[in-house]
Structure 1
Amino acid sequence: MQDQTVIHPSSVIEAGAQIGAGVRIGPFCHISSEAVIGDGVELVGHVSVLSATTIGAGTRVYPMTTLGAPPQNTKHKGGRTTLVIGKNCTIRENVTMHTGTDTSRGTTVVGDNGNFLAYSHIAHDCIVGDNCTFANGATLGGHCEVGDNVNIGGLTAVHQFVRVGDNAFLGGCSAVVGDVIPYAIAVGNRAKLRGFNIIGLKRSGMARSEIQTMRRAYRMIFDPAHPVSENVGKARAEFSGSPTVMKIVDFISTRDKRYYTVPPLKGGGGDGGDDED
């Protein structure tokens, strides 16, 4: 029966754990007393679900993954904190996701439909949106905020407190130490903007006219002849009718802990432009 829960006899389910309908727990798993496992979740085997961790319905977790380990943060005092993982995620081998810290946000949140490949890591107090893909070895430091539809390339490290806007693409083997605006591509050590994620925008169905508007706004915002703060004000006035540009402007206007990732000073910055239909 589809709704029947199957637990391998070698696995340990602590008293108090909540196990949904149709869950499949393979060999040598360990589920803590505060864990909540949603309907239809599959733990393939050798999975540890620790602390107050919630796994959304339909998520599949592969061997040697650890979810809900304590934060790697010396400020944490040992209090109860949480990890919440959304629905229909794929979490591959050796992935680690940690709970929040009791001196900060107190929770780590991962959205729906994520695809987290082997050895990727989400640190304490991070917020990750829906439909995100982390390639092998992609790593978030603590307190990062990642929007929806973000792709992070293999072996890329994101510095703590960095924000990554919706639909951004972080190239592989990059060190991202500043906030990345929505829709952008950022690549390198330390990462620089390489224009917009044009392929992703086209696949999402964004109109070519809107992409052209975004390109004009990008050139204005990152015009090196004037400070970004001044350019952002100009862009807000000129492109007020473009929701996508306003998302970028609002993102920059709500600067937090980190500075912004910007285009390189000479060459290679571009705006992600091409001439394809």
Structure 2
Amino acid sequence: MSDGPHVIVFANEKGGTGKSTTAVHVAVALAVKGARVACLDLDHRQRTMGRYLDNRETSAKRTGAQLAIPRHATTDGRGDGNFADLFHEMAEGADYLVIDTPGRDDVAGRTAAALANTLVTPMNDSFVDFDLIGQVDPDTFSVTRPSFYSEMIWNARKARAKADGTTIDWVVLRNRLQHIGARNMRRVSDALEQLAKRVGFRIIPGLTERVIYRELFPSGLTMLDSKEFGQMGLAHVAARQELREMMAALALPEPAQPSEPAQPAAA
């Protein structure tokens, strides 16, 4: 990894795609490995990532659990301070900077996307979510054109490559995949493959729809905190495995030098 953190930005202008939950799990998974991880939540209204990590700190203090906790801050990037200053502050000394953007068009979110090394766009397995990145023919379901959002990312990637030679790795992450509606799944898959060839993103599987993810939020735990669950059921084991597979598929670079594991919050 070169100087400065590897910036991982989670961006989708539509809500309800599991963006914040996925961002937290990625951040904690990296911290558990011993990386120095900082998190920046740009959605000051919902503040899901910030609240999740606040809950994690509270749980560590209450129970004395040895939880890896990334350093984190929340801002709207405008009225709540200067985005550039906070970006550099959080990036200082970090191996990875994980940024969660609002589920809407937002100036700070677009700025963050342009600064990404890895840009992750989570989406549910439907043409409602696909519409964010591309349009399809209603009869054949073939891609007719990229969306405004895809064009924006395309232009950001070209500008970044021209500015400093960095290639933004754009990853479309398919969350909440289900085995029902197999025909629709095939159609979405085919459309994604078509669009990926045109605008240059990778497609990887994400986290499926599981009640356990919603239940973990109040405690701030993740699927990697198995010691805190007591007895683990099959759903826990399956969820932990899909998280590991997602992390492998993201193919993030390793830190230049191993760091000490993140320290738990003080009891």
TM-score > 0.5, shorter chain as reference: no
Q: Which has the larger radius of gyration?
A: 1
TM-score range, shorter chain: under 0.3
More helix by share: 2
Give me the TM-score of the superposition, normalised by structure 2.
Answer: 0.22
Give me the TM-score of the superposition, normalised by structure 1.
Answer: 0.22
More strand by share: 1
